[in-house]
Amino acid sequence: MKTAALAVAATLYATAAMAGSGPLTVEEAVSVKNAGSVVISPDGERIAYVLSEPRTADEDNGRSYNSIWMLKRGETVGRRFTRKTIGAGSPSFTPDSQKLLFTSKRGSNNQVWWIPVDGGEAQEITEDKSGVMGYRLSPDGSQIAYTTLAAEDATKKKARDKGFDAEVVDTDHRHHVLKVVTIASGATVTVTPETSTAFEMDWSPDGKQLA
């Protein structure tokens, strides 16, 4: 019950700003902050969530800012865990609850990063040229399985590098492949063939298989 209450508290905190007297105005509606992707640490001491914050009227047009926030047991106000202007999502905790993983595009592609729950510098775990689409941490916390785009056909890549960027319907499709990276060494292996698509994945309880 307590851990469930923490998750609810995060959502209520994120939407508390819209609570007030009188009907909701258009300006208030478009400025509402939304909490999502709530996860609870294995030890039940923290929750992490993604807070989506719409841009203000004096900012350039664009998507809402998505950042990771953290809330500790007994606290009523969360704290920002990643910078507002650097998008972040898909939070998850390591089995020992000491680090938080998340996805973020801090370069040319979306990658998996992690950071100690007490704060510190974020460290990049994946370095995939095509970026990370979705990921799952193994039960023992030693490996990450993730999906990414299959390598681009060499002939098409050469043409694209020369300036040919037209896309031909039904011929330029790139499958999603499943890869596994060992965190300690950075060694990465491709699990599924590039001729088929893997949309989702999950580890078996013993961490020996992927489905």
Number of H-type helices and E-type strands within the chain: 3, 12
For residue 57, the model assigns a pLDDT of 73
Q: Who's near 207: CB < 8 A, 6+ residues apart? A: 138, 139, 140, 142, 143
Mean pLDDT, residues 51-73 taken together: 82
Tens digits of residue pLDDT in 65-98: 889 999 998 888 888 888 877 889 999 999 999 9
Q: Chain centroid to CA 157: how far?
A: 28
User: In the 8-state DSSP scheme, what is residue 106?
Assistant: S
Tens digits of residue pLDDT in 91-135: 999 999 999 999 999 888 999 999 999 988 899 999 999 999 999
The rounded percent of the chain whose pLDDT value lies above 70 is: 74
DSSP secondary structure string, 68-91?
A: EEEEETT-SS-EE-S-TTS-EEEE
Query: Length of the chain, please?
Result: 211
- What pTM was estimated for this model as a whole? 0.76
Report CA torsion sign: 39, 55, 82, 202. Answer: positive
